[in-house]
Amino acid sequence: MTTNRRSFIKAAGSLTVMFSLEYTGLLASALTMNNLELPEVLRRNPSLSAWLQVLTNGSVRVFTGKVELGQGLCGAIAQVTAEELDLKADKVEVVIADTRRTPNEGFTGGSFSTENSVLSIRYAAAAARRELLDLAAAVLMAPAEELQMADGKVSFKSGGRSLSFFELLEGKKLKSEIRLPLQLKPKEQYRISGKSVHREDFKQMVVGAEMYIQDLRFPGMVHARTISPPSYDARLISLDEAGLNKVAPVLTVIKDGSFIAVICEDEYQTVKAQQHLSAQAKWSVSQKTTSAKSMPELLKSLTVITSKVKTASIVFPEEAKTIKAAYYKPYVMHGAIAPSCAVARYKDGLLEIWTHSQGAYPLRDTISSLVKIPTPQIHVTCIRGSGCYGHNGSDDAAAEAALIAVAFPGRHIRLQWSREQEHSWEPYGTAMYMELEAILAMDGRIAHFRNSVWSDAHYIRGNPGYLNLEGLRANPVVQKANPAGSGGYRNADLYYAVSNQTVTANFFNGPLRTSNLRSLGSYANLFAVESFMDELAAQAGIDPFDFRIMHLEDKRAIEVLERLKRTVITLPKEKNAAIGIAFSRYKNSAAYIAVAAQVKVHPSTFKITPVKLWAVVDVGEVISLDSVINQIEGGMIQATSWTLFEEVRFEQKTVNSRNWASYPIIRFNDIPEVEVEVISRPNEKLQGVGEIAMCVTPGAIANAINRACGKRIRNLPVGEQLKL
């Protein structure tokens, strides 16, 4: 056993408090746990029955207002519930966001699902444990301290009579409230939490089971498609419907201003009708103007709001010799593999919607305003989509399906976007431009740093007019200027110990529709920051690892870098290949990650091959080890695709990247090997992991390219730049 005095006292003290509260009840009214505070969503929804239900078969049903996006949320919830109630994980059923059944937890995103929702469920399960033990103590006429839980039953520790959870409740709901003081199971007794458990959903994915919104079918369901304008500002002049029924038997065509939808019994018939009407529609098109400006120049010319994010205590000495660099990230799309889809039915005054939106309740509010139906008469059920991590076309498809269902009541309406619609009408991740400048002291340390960031909005949900169809209707809702937000400058300031920092955020309203995409502004900002850190290290003549470590005071940050260094420092050098590194603490307040990327630059073709990626991560307490590793691996691969290949191409307000040929993404033969090391800190705060790998991967790749061939990449995607 190896430990230190501080760690021993910390762990022992925590154990003492836990034992006192749960197992003896002593001092429960006098003591409070300073490190325990109920999440805000539990304070709004304190009723235990809103979160947990005991089923007749001995299982427990859990209700979460969050959505499973592939991040392993349902598995993590099952694990913490099973842990607190001494169940097997497969005895926990998880119901995701549904306005009829689950609490309102807003949107899923920002790596908050584990940090907030899983923690809320843990507390709810602990409250259920308390209620069940109290009920058993009354029935068995014994102190709760003499009872134990196992496999959905409560029994004497010494053996003998046992009662199932269902018997204790006599078929009724859990009735207590989730309140403090509340004792969680001591982590030293964990059996499931922190381990990797079997995920049944993986099997369903592999065998092609019907589990996604695109698979959803109802008896008597009909199919709808919409006809999209050629560009953002095009409006319908005329629509020739003559000959339509010769193409396909159409149930109805719905027109509301420039919003057009067609409904048929069969999906293929609907596609043919859509294609016919698209060819017959005439649209107004705005006068196109040419511009010789580069994208960074264009973005800078669009600035509408400028604010100081961080101001240095000492004014930046303008006369000093500085190191400067500018970086650019283009518009990128979510690129969901299956286009957006929704099902809706309006019958007897009730509007039902099935969607892969990231928020059931917020979407219900938006649709209520759109169709003028009160929210109690709208039910929204979230179903898994094909994956996107952010705000793609799901809300638009749900709103369109709702509008169509109200116009064609009585039957389920399935609305499916085409690939072209998904590519050209989803909200993109905004283009960004960053100008960095620094002064190095004589010892190589950063004495002054400043960063100017240009960004459009990273979040438009709820902004009036944010849905495509709102601007197309006969009485259009004009979208307000995009809201400025902290996502634009997330991670733009250094986590490194540099006291004199100035960060300026410049927000513009750009030519394309944008909203949140995985990691928001952190991807671009950390691409710039971590590329710049390598440039500064080279200028100072210091090893990139050492340069970063010398600017860090946080021991957890230093450890992820030191572990990564030990992993890659002894690897043999390969011809035309090199390794680059990058580091981040996500949002400068959440999980830690250090990444190394090995790339090979082919000298004759200048093709870049990503060979291998390594990551060392510290996410505090780990609930499911496999899920953490899966998220890091997936994030690094997606970020590699963004870095090397992805860019939305457009002219004025017309998107040209309308398929996978014009918007290439990484393919299987380009995917690098990935190795992830997870530092487990069970006594530290839970931290989300879904977005942290996106941010550091581009800097590591760019730094590797520079070391391999001497070419500094400052504009993304890398593409053909090495040939120039």
**pLDDT for 605 beyond 60:** yes
- Domain membership of residue 567 (yes or no) is yes
Q: What is the dihedral of CA 570, 573, 578, 583, to 10 degrees?
A: 0
| Residue of 76, 101, 96, 176 lying closest to 134 (CA atoms) | 176
- Same domain assignment for residues 629 and 709: yes
- Same domain assignment for residues 406 and 538: no
Cis peptide before 717 (omega within 30 of 0): yes
Which residues are 128's β-sheet partners?
none
Residue 695: which domain range? 518-723
Write down which residue in 173, 202, 231 finishes a domain: 202
Per-residue pLDDT at 29: 28
Strands (E), 566-665: 577-585, 592-601, 608-618, 650-651, 654-655
- Domain membership of residue 440 (yes or no) is no
Average pLDDT of span 536-564: 98
Measured distance CA(464)–CA(460) in Å, rounded = 9
Higher-confidence residue of 151 and 8: namely 151
- Same domain assignment for residues 262 and 172: no
- Same domain assignment for residues 189 and 255: no
| Residue of 33, 66, 60 lying closest to 124 (CA atoms) | 60
What tens digit of pLDDT does each residue of 169-217 get? 998 999 999 999 988 899 889 999 888 888 777 788 888 888 899 999 9
**pLDDT for 101 beyond 50:** yes
Both structure tokens of 596: 């190394």
**pLDDT for 21 beyond 60:** no
- Domain membership of residue 540 (yes or no) is yes
- Same domain assignment for residues 634 and 685: yes
In Å, how far are 226, 393, 563, 606 from 396, measured between CA atoms?
Answer: 11, 5, 45, 41
Q: Tell me the average pLDDT of the chain.
A: 90
What tens digit of pLDDT does each residue of 125-140 get? 999 999 999 999 999 9
What tens digit of pLDDT does each residue of 558-587 get? 999 999 999 999 999 999 999 999 999 999
Write down which residue in 395, 416, 437 finishes a domain: 416
Q: What is the CATH number of the domain that holds 236?
A: 3.30.365.10
**pLDDT for 69 beyond 90:** no
What tens digit of pLDDT does each residue of 246-272 get? 999 999 999 999 999 999 999 999 999
Both structure tokens of 61: 């049903």
Collect all residues with Cβ–Cβ distance below 8 Å to 380 and sequence separation of at least 6: 97, 98, 99, 353, 355, 357, 360, 361, 363, 364, 367, 398
- Same domain assignment for residues 218 and 197: no
Indicate the number of domains in the chain: 3
- Same domain assignment for residues 67 and 180: yes
- Domain membership of residue 435 (yes or no) is no
Measured distance CA(66)–CA(108) in Å, rounded = 5
Q: What is the dihedral of CA 558, 562, 564, 570, to 10 degrees?
A: 160
pTM of the model: 0.91
Per-residue pLDDT at 6: 38
**pLDDT for 34 beyond 60:** no
Measured distance CA(463)–CA(226) in Å, rounded = 23
Contact 371, 403 (CB under 8 A): yes
- Same domain assignment for residues 69 and 198: yes
- Same domain assignment for residues 525 and 400: no
- Same domain assignment for residues 224 and 175: no
Amino acid at 627: S
| Residue of 527, 371, 538, 306 lying closest to 444 (CA atoms) | 538
Both structure tokens of 311: 């101001």
- Domain membership of residue 474 (yes or no) is no
**pLDDT for 9 beyond 50:** no
CA-based Rg of the chain, rounded to a whole angstrom?
A: 28
**pLDDT for 1 beyond 50:** no
Alpha helices in 20-92 (DSSP H): 40-44, 73-85
Amino acid at 630: N
**pLDDT for 32 beyond 60:** no
Measured distance CA(171)–CA(91) in Å, rounded = 18
- Same domain assignment for residues 192 and 222: no
- Domain membership of residue 98 (yes or no) is yes
| Residue of 511, 267, 297, 306 lying closest to 413 (CA atoms) | 267
- Same domain assignment for residues 136 and 231: no
- Domain membership of residue 368 (yes or no) is yes
What tens digit of pLDDT does each residue of 336-368 get? 999 999 999 999 999 999 999 999 999 999 999
What tens digit of pLDDT does each residue of 305-322 get? 999 999 998 989 988 889
Write down which residue in 416, 447, 463 finishes a domain: 416
pLDDT band at residue 293 under the 50/70/90 scheme: confident
Strand order across the beta sheet in which 303-310 lies = 303-310, 501-508, 446-455, 432-440, 323-329
- Domain membership of residue 500 (yes or no) is no
